[in-house]
Amino acid sequence: MTAPAPNPSAPPPPLPSDLIARVAAHIQARFSGEGSGHDWHHIDRVRRLARRIAAAEGANVEIAELAALVHDIADWKFHGGDDAIGPREAERLLTEEGAPAEVIDAVVEIVRTISFKGAGVHTAMRTLEGRCVQDADRLDAIGAIGIARCFAYGGHAGRPLYDPAVPPVMHASAEAYKAAKGHSLNHFYEKLFLLKERMNTASGRKLAEERHQFMESFVSRFLEEWESA
């Protein structure tokens, strides 16, 4: 399904009254107990942050919430690097749940564009709702929870905590980023430290500041303890 150009003057189509609750129940059942940091609790945090940011920025809160719920429905990291599977699965679920076509188009566009794909790759969102959801997802990748999720995913993927002999790489393409197998600490330099400057909204930038500083302090202490051992 091809997304039409957004029309800011058009009112959002009405959603079935229980659509969001039904989608949330499906996603919770599917992702409860997931161990890589991409579990239901991550999705729910992104959902709540997206609602908060969308309300502050004047975006359509329902579209933002729905997109947040399905943003990780089939992450390329767990599907052989396939970028198309997430948008396809989001479209399938929303179609099955009876979402209006305009809503499906808007949400699928967000899912298609949300992921970070390398230091040299910029994935600009076309809609305000998309920018709010992208900020929410990136906020959950930084700060204390972001640190925990980074090492949870590293353990899931069999990556070492740190190897001083392997420097970080600023990937120039999505292909290079997907192929990277570096240690977990490199992920801070290759992605997490970059996210503060890539926030789309004033609300996202404000929330990112303290989380970013916390990560910097953590990495500094990590390296200090590593060297002193």
SS3 letters across 165-195: CCCCCCCCCHHHHHHCCCCHHHHHHHCHHHH
Task: Flag whether 111 is in a domain.
Answer: yes
Q: Whole-angstrom Cα distance, residue 139 to residue 33?
A: 22
For residue 75, what pLDDT is reported? Answer: 72
- Calculate mean pLDDT across residues 173-180: 77
Q: Domain total for the chain?
A: 1
Task: Flag whether 195 is in a domain.
Answer: yes
| pLDDT of 8 over the 50 cut | no
Task: Flag whether 10 is in a domain.
Answer: no
Of the pLDDT bands very low, low, confident and very high (cuts 50, 70, 90), residue 9 is: very low
Task: Flag whether 160 is in a domain.
Answer: yes
| pLDDT of 6 over the 60 cut | no
Enter the DSSP assignment of 137. Answer: H
Task: Flag whether 141 is in a domain.
Answer: yes
User: Would you tell me how many other CB atoms lie within 10 Å of the CB of residue 226?
Assistant: 12
For residue 160, what pLDDT is reported? Answer: 95
pTM comes to: 0.89
Q: 25 in helix, strand or coil?
A: helix
Residue with tokens 């230091």: 119
| pLDDT of 68 over the 70 cut | yes
Domain that holds residue 157: 19-228
Element (H, E) at 133: helix 128-139
Task: Flag whether 14 is in a domain.
Answer: no
Which residues, 6+ apart, have CB-to-CB distance to 78 below 8 Å? 36, 38
Note the residue count of the chain: 229
For residue 131, what pLDDT is reported? Answer: 97
| pLDDT of 1 over the 70 cut | no
CATH of the domain at 35: 1.10.3210.50
Task: Flag whether 88 is in a domain.
Answer: yes
For residue 127, what pLDDT is reported? Answer: 96
| pLDDT of 66 over the 70 cut | yes
| pLDDT of 10 over the 70 cut | no
Task: Flag whether 8 is in a domain.
Answer: no
| pLDDT of 223 over the 60 cut | yes
